[in-house]
Chains A and B, each alone.
Chain A
C-alpha cells in the first residue's frame, strides 16, 4: 500500500513540477516570509508621524525626532499637503511666535494626543537626563504583529495544500484519468492517502521555511507539527470535496473562496473582538489552530494545552469529514 501511495504522490509531484505549481506553492511561503521580515520592523517603530518646517527650529526638530517620525518640508503649504494625504500625519506649524498642530480633522484621537503630549514636553523643556523611570525588559525581540502575520500565514499555507489537492483532482477529472483509477489495484483509501501526501508535504515544507526565515526557528517543532497535521486534515477533506464535487475549475475556484472566510473570521475574532464574542467562533477549527499556533510561536504552550487545541481541531475536522465522507466516496465511484 505504501508503494502505491508513493507512486500516486510521485505522479502528482511530477505533474505539479511540470506545471511549476509546486514551485510556486513552495515559493509563496518564502516570499511571504521575506515580506513579513521587511514590514514588521517599520510597523513596530511606528509612534506618530509629524511634519515640520525645515530649518525653522532645529532644537525642536532634534527633540521630537527622539520620540516620533519627523518629516521636514520647505514651506507651510508643503506641510499642509503632507497633512492632507490619506494617512495620519500631524503638522507642527509656527504662528505668532508659537506653534499650532495642523490636523486633517479625521485622525484617531490617540494620535492627536500623542502629538500634543510631545509638543507639551518640548515646551516644558523636559529632557531625557531628568528621567525618573527605569525600564526593564524580558529581551523579547519578536513583535506581536509579526507573530500574528506568521500565524495567519501558517493557516493560509495549510489551505494552499488543500487547494493543490483540489486542483489536482479537477485536472484528473478533466483528463478523464480519475475513473481509470478503478481499474488499477490501488483502492480508494490508497488513492485518497496518495493524493493527500503532496498537500500535507507542501504545507509542512512551506510552514517550516516560513518560520525559519521569520526567525521562529527555535519554537517547539513537534508541537507545531501536531497542530499543522490536524489543520491539514481539515484542508485535505475540504480539498477533496472541492476537487470531487467540482465539475470544473470554475466551481473549484468558487469553493476555494469560501474557505478563506472561516480562516479570516478566526483570526479577526481572536485579534480584534472582546471576550464576550469569542464563543461565537468555537465552531471554527481555524480559530483553535490559531490559538494553538499562537502559544507555540510565543514559546509558552505546554503539551497539555497543545493537545487540547489539537484535539478540538481534530474533533471538528472529524465531524466535517464524517459529513463529507459519503460525498468523497461517491465522487470516487
Chain B
C-alpha cells in the first residue's frame, strides 16, 4: 500500500514535470513521421548501367530478353547526366532492377568511378563469344567477386531452369512478414523504452539527491526499495503510454498486445534497474553521463544486425537489446511465439530483479551520501 501511494505520488510529480510531456511529444512526432512520411516498403530496385560493345543485332537479342521482364514491356528513352552532360540512354525497369543502357564504354566507366554505380560492359571477344567487364569499387568482398566471375558462364535459360529445379522447403507455412515500415517498430520500441529508461531513471535519482528529497525520504518509515520501485514505476508508465501511442495507429490489430505489454514492462524494468545500478556508482549526472552513454551505445549495436539479417555474429546476441528486438518483432508479427517471448520476458525480469536488489543494497549505503 505504501509502495502504491509512493508510486502515485511520484507519478503526480512526474506529470507536473517537463520530461513526462517530452516523452509523449516524442511519441506523437514519431507517430506522425511513420504515418505520414515513411512508405510501407522502401524502394529496393537496384540501378545498373550497361554498355553493349557489339553489333546492334546482337545487342538487340539481349535487350529483347530484358524487355520480357520489363514492367510495362517497353524501354523508356531518358537522359543521364554524365560528367555534367546530358546523355541519351534507354531505361528498362523490372520488378527489382532499373537498367540504364548507355551509348559508350567511357560513360559506363564514369558512372562506376565517379557516381559509384553498378556498371558493366557486355562485349564480343575475338571468337565472337560473349564476355563481361565489371567495374567495381574495390571494397567488394572476395566471395561476391567470385560469384560475379561465374555469373554468366552458362546461359540465363540454363541457370533459370536449374534454379527452378531447386527444392525449397520452409519449416513453417504461412510465415508472417513485417513490411519495411513495420520492421522499424521494434527498433523504435527498444530506443524509446528500454534505452532511454536507462538514462532517465539515473537523471531522476540525481535530481532527487540534489534537491534533498532523498534526505527527506530517509526520515520516513518507507524502505529504500519502495522509493526506487516507485521511480521504476514512473518509467514503466511513460514507456507503456508512449509505446502504445505509436504502435496502435501504425500496427492496428496485428500485434499481440498482452505479450507486448508484458515485454515492455519486463524490458523497461530491466533497463531502469541497470540505470539505477550504474547511477549508484556516481555522485551526479555529469559523472554518470559517460558510463550511461557508453552502455546506450553498446545497446544500440544489435540494431545493425537486426537490419542486416545475414550478418549476425554470436557476440552481438549477448547484448540484451538483441533478444529485445527479436521479442518485439515476434509480438508485432502476432505469430503466437509465446514461448520465446515468455522466456525472454522471464529472463529480463530475473536479471532486472537481481540488478534491482544489488542497486537497493548500494543505495541503502550511499543514497544519503
A110 → chain B, closest Cβ, in Å?
8
CB of A282 within 8 Å of the partner chain: no
Residue B313 interfacial (CB < 8 Å): yes
Question: Residue B175 contacts which of A98, A106, A120 (CB distance < 8 angstroms)?
Answer: A106
Q: Enumerate A286-311 residues with CB–CB distance to B below 8 Å.
A: 298, 300
- Is B196 within 8 A of A21, CB to CB? no
B194-212, CB under 8 A of A: which get 1 and which 0?
0010011001101100110
Known: A105-B175, A248-B210, A277-B37. A44 touches B141 (CB 8 A): yes
CB of B86 within 8 A of chain A? no
Considering only residues 119-162 of chain A, those with a C-beta below 8 Å from chain B are 119-121, 123-124, 126-128, 130-144, 160
Measured between beta carbons, the chain A residues less than 8 angstroms from B318 are none
Q: Known: A106-B177, A133-B149. Is A167-B289 also a contact (CB below 8 A)?
A: yes
Contacts of B37 in A (CB 8 A): 273, 277, 280
A31-39, A186-194, A317-325 - interface stretch: A31-39
At the interface, yes or no: B310 with Cβ under 8 Å from chain A? Answer: yes
B18, B149, B206, B308: which contacts A43 (Cβ < 8 A)?
B308
Interface centre among B30, B129, B203 (most CB of A within 10 A): B203
With known contacts A42-B311, A171-B284, A106–B294 Cβ distance under 8 A: no
Q: Does A102 have its Cβ within 8 Å of any Cβ on chain B?
A: yes
Which of B19, B163, B289 has the largest count of A CB atoms less than 10 A from its CB? B289
> Which of A253-294 touch B at CB < 8 Å?
253-255, 257-258, 261, 265, 272-274, 277, 280
Would B141 and A141 count as touching, CB distance under 8 A?
no
Q: Is the CB of A126 within 8 A of B287?
A: no
A83-B171 in contact (CB<8A)? yes
Contact at A43–B304, with CB atoms within 8 Å?
A: yes
Cβ distance B353 to chain A, nearest Cβ, rounded Å: 25
Question: Does any Cβ of B come within 8 Å of A104's Cβ?
Answer: yes
Complex contacts, A181 vs chain B, CB 8 Å? none
Known: A46-B310, A103-B170. A249 touches B162 (CB 8 A): no
Within 8 A of B (CB), among A1-45: 16, 19-21, 23-25, 27-28, 31-32, 35, 39, 42-45
Residues of B within 8 A of A226 (CB): none
Contact of B309 among A27, A95, A111, A124 (CB under 8 A): A111
Smallest CB–CB gap between B97 and chain A, Å?
12
Q: Which positions 11-60 of chain B face chain A at CB distance < 8 Å? A: 17-19, 22-23, 25-26, 29-30, 33, 37-39, 42-43
Contact between chains at A273 and B42 (CB < 8 Å): yes
Tell whether, in the assembled complex, residue B149 and residue A128 are in contact, meaning their CB atoms are under 8 Å apart: yes
| Contact flags B288-310 to A (C-beta < 8 A → 1, else 0) | 01110110010001001100111
**Which residues of chain B come closer than 8 Å to A87, judged between CB atoms?**
305, 309-312
Q: Answer whether residue A225 sits at the interface, using C-beta atoms and an 8 A cutoff.
A: no
Stretch from B68-76, B153-161, B243-251, B258-266 contacting the other chain: B153-161
CA distance A249 to B19 in the complex (A): 10
Q: How far is the CA of A124 from the CA of B159 in the complex (A)?
A: 8
Chain B: which residue is nearest A249 at the CB level? B285
Q: A44-B139, A67-B147, A87-B305 are in contact. Are A28 and B176 (CB under 8 A)?
A: no
Q: Does B219 touch A at the CB level, under 8 Å? A: no
A174 within 8 A of B: yes
Distance A324 CA – B229 CA, assembled complex (angstroms) = 38
- Looking at the complex, which one of B18, B112, B167, B199 makes contact with A100 (CB distance below 8 Å)? B167
B81 at the interface (CB under 8 A from A): no
Q: How far is the CA of A48 from the CA of B132 in the complex (A)?
A: 24
Q: B169 near A250 (CB under 8 angstroms)?
A: no
- Which residue of A is nearest B208, CB measured? A250
Taking a contact as CB atoms under 8 Å apart, the answer to whether A254 and B206 are in contact is no
**Residues of B within 8 A of A (CB-CB), count:** 90
- The reply to whether B150 and A261 contact each other, CB–CB distance below 8 Å, is no
Per-residue B-contact encoding for A214-227, CB less than 8 Å = 1, 0 else = 00000000000000
The minimal Cβ–Cβ distance linking B308 to chain A, given in whole angstroms, is: 6
CB closest chain-A residue, reference B313? A42
Q: How far is the CA of A298 from the CA of B151 in the complex (A)?
A: 29
Q: In the complex, A301 Cα to B22 Cα: how many Å?
A: 38
Interface flags for B113-155 (1: CB within 8 Å of A; 0: not) read 1101000000000000111111111111101111111111110
B contact residues around A83 at 8 Å (CB): 171
How far apart sit A309 and B145, CA to CA, in the bound complex (Å)? 36
User: Quick one: which of A200-259 are within 8 Å of B by CB?
Assistant: 246, 248-251, 253-255, 257-258
Chain A minimum-CB-distance residue to B315? A38
Asked, given contacts A120-B162, A280-B37, whether A106 binds B310 with beta carbons under 8 Å apart, the answer is: no
Known: A46-B311, A251-B17. A167 touches B143 (CB 8 A): no
Interface residues of A in 52-71 (CB under 8 A from B): 66-69
Residues on A with C-beta less than 8 A from B147 are 47, 67, 117-118
B85 within 8 A of A: no
Smallest CB separation, B72 vs chain A (Å):
19
Which of B140, B150, B203 contacts A253, CB < 8 Å? B203
Bound-state Cα–Cα, A255 to B132, Å: 55
The answer to whether B151 touches A133, judged by C-beta atoms less than 8 angstroms apart, is: yes
The contact of B170 among A67, A105, A168, by CB within 8 Å, is A105
Which residue of chain A has its CB nearest to the CB of B137?
A: A140
Min CB distance A197 to B, Å, is: 17
**The residue from B22, B167, B177, B207 contacting A101, defined by CB atoms under 8 A apart:** B167
How far in angstroms is the closest Cβ of chain A from B77? 20
Chain A neighbourhood of B129, CB < 8 A: 132
List 7 A-B residue pairs with CB atoms under 8 Å apart, sorted by A's residue number.
A21-B289, A67-B143, A87-B305, A106-B176, A120-B163, A131-B149, A253-B199
- Nearest first, the 8 closest Cβ-Cβ pairs linking A and B are A24-B290, A105-B170, A105-B175, A87-B312, A120-B162, A254-B22, A88-B309, A254-B19
Given contacts A249-B203, A274-B39, 7 further A-B pairs with CB under 8 A are A44-B139, A49-B310, A119-B166, A124-B158, A142-B139, A249-B206, A265-B33
